Structure 1
Amino acid sequence: MPNYVIHTKAYLKIILHACKHPFAGVNGILLAEDSEIDNEIRIVDAVPLFHRWVTLTPMLEIGLQQVDVYASKNNLKIAGYYHANERVDDNKLPLYGQKIVSKIHDNFNKAIALVVQNTKLSPENPEIAVVPYTFKENQWRPDNKAFSSKTESSTANSFSFENPNAPDLISQSIQKRHFEHLYDFDEHMENIELDWLVNQKVESLEIENDKKRK
């Protein structure tokens, strides 16, 4: 079974997207390196899509097409979907989210979904705030034991962060309000000058902080 490694940059954008729109559902796309080594899937980036129209709409198709073109140009592939619900106590992947990740799964059978656990988005108490969903027995199931150092069997998926300190680093970014510099496709449609595919400003802030920590 695949081993999934979540890079800090991908996790950062997911959490900042959810923090920027705390009273709305948000979603986006997970990008992985195009090549796999030893059955390891490295989720290296995330592209924020919507905070207004998170359901299945014609704009979703347009957004996915643009992400696909961007991924191809950068030797990446669409490897999954992320989602945060509007209600703080709602930590499940909704039906339309399952349909979106199923569409991705049709093209990449190792695709996953990451669902933000809203109750764990606390800058004062850093926790891993996502739960992966994998496709098992013809349905999307949460892996509540993900990111554990132990797996129950050799057939289980494993999940880890490239940097084990990722929750602490993202907590610092939340405290510094880096989410104010992150834009999604919704905002890009209102102002085409906004950078939603790369979010270079957020990446620059993270690199700068990483240098200071070293």
Structure 2
Amino acid sequence: MGCTYELSQTAYIKIVLHALKNPSSAVNGILLGRPRTYYIMEILDAMPVSHSASNFYSPFQIALYQTEEQCYHPRQLNVVGYYHANETYDDCKLGPAACKHVDQMFRHSWLSAVLLLDHKKLHHLIKENDGDPAVMLFTCGISRTPCLQAGPEAKDELVLKEPSAHALLADYIASKKWLEIVDFEDHLNDITKDWFNPNLFK
């Protein structure tokens, strides 16, 4: 029996908005959540980290530390995974830089989720406003290699926690909500910008 990863609309929308704000760059971030049962992992929030390939590694380590320090005690959330969006439309693979972070997540927990944005599916969702989430799920495979969970042979599955997620996402895209999202790299350039994005959905 595999694990079901329940992706909240808050986490899902933040992943998409982060990618839309930086359409010509790869982006990455940290997934927060908690196990609900032994077989169900809730992914409740996403922390946008970086959008610059030249700064991909070091900001992530600092952001990971800050996330662990500031999110566990007040919100009782743990780091449960990593998300990534490639810079090119048809690239659906995890590159070497992303795999470094993936390996770190799998060392932390073999239940960690890795979500890769599918730009083609996102484009379809924007037009049709339905369907499965526009992210692909990777989980820990042999020797901690990321294993894509898709099709009838998948042992793990990804589901959206709220059915309203796509409709809400469409509204945010129409209003260009992506302009408001801040990642950790933005925060390093201007410390007045809060990369925890407390007012993003208010």
TM-score, normalisation: structure 1 = 0.84
Residues 137 and 157 in structure 2, CA contact (< 8 A), matched pair in contact too? no
For residues 164-198 of structure 1, what are the alpha-carbon distances to aligned partners after superposition, in whole Å with 9 as ceiling and x for unaligned?
2322321221111111110001110111111112x
Give the conservation status (yes or no) of the 8 Å contact 1:184–1:196.
yes
Equivalent residues of 1:55, 1:97 under 8 A apart: no
Q: Which residue of 2 aligns with 1:22?
A: 23
Map of 1:103 onto structure 2: 104
Tell me which residue corresponds to 1:158. 157
Deviation for aligned residue 1:80: 0.5
Cα 1:55–1:90 shift into 2, 3 Å: farther
Q: Does 1:129 align with 2:134?
A: yes
| Aligned-pair CA distance for 1:152 | 5.2
Shift of 1:56: 5.0
Kindly report which structure 2 residues correspond to 1:32-47, keeping only aligned pairs within 5 A, or say none: 32-33=33-34, 35-47=35-47
Q: How does 1:111-150 map to 2 (within 5 A)?
A: 111-122=112-123, 123-126=126-129, 127=131, 128-138=133-143, 139-145=145-151
| Equivalence for 1:49 | 49
Name the residue aligned to 2:201.
203
The one-letter amino acid of 2:58's match is P
- Given the alignment of the two structures, is residue 169 of structure 1 paired with residue 172 of structure 2, yes or no? no
Give the CA RMSD over aligned residues.
1.8
Aligned residues: 195
Specify whether residues 56 and 180 from structure 1 end up closer, same or farther in structure 2 by C-alpha distance, changes over 3 A only.
closer
CA contact (8 A) 2:18 2:48 kept: yes
Supply the distance in 1 between the matched residues of 2:139 and 2:85 (Cα, whole angstroms).
16
Q: Structure 1's 106 and 97: CA in aligned 2 closer, same or farther, altered over 3 A?
A: same
- With normalisation by structure 2, the TM-score equals 0.89
String of CA shifts for 1:144-166, please: whole Å, max 9, x gaps.
23xxxxx658xx21221111232
- Supply the distance in 2 between the matched residues of 1:115 and 1:160 (Cα, whole angstroms): 14
Q: Structure 1 residue 203: deviation in Å? A: 2.4
Aligned-partner residue type, residue 149 of structure 2: D
Distance 2:111 2:6 in 1: 13
Does the 8 Å CA contact 1:133/1:140 hold for their aligned counterparts? yes
Whether the 8 Å contact between 2:49 and 2:59 is mirrored in structure 1 is: no
Give the Cα separation in 2 of the matches to 1:55 and 1:140: 23
In the alignment, the residues of structure 2 paired with residue 25 and residue 51 of structure 1 have an alpha-carbon distance, to the nearest angstrom, of 6
Q: Residue in 2 aligned with 1:210? A: none
Separation (CA, whole Å) in 1 of partners of 2:7 and 2:173: 18
| Residue number in structure 2 paired with 1:209 | none
Task: Verify the 8 A CA contact 2:59 2:184 in the aligned structure 1.
Answer: no
Q: Aligned pair in 2 of structure 1 residues 47, 109: CA closer, same or farther (>3 Å)?
A: same
Rounded to whole Å, the distance in 1 between the matches of 2:102 and 2:30 is 9
Percent identity (aligned): 29
| Structure 2 partner of 1:187 | 186
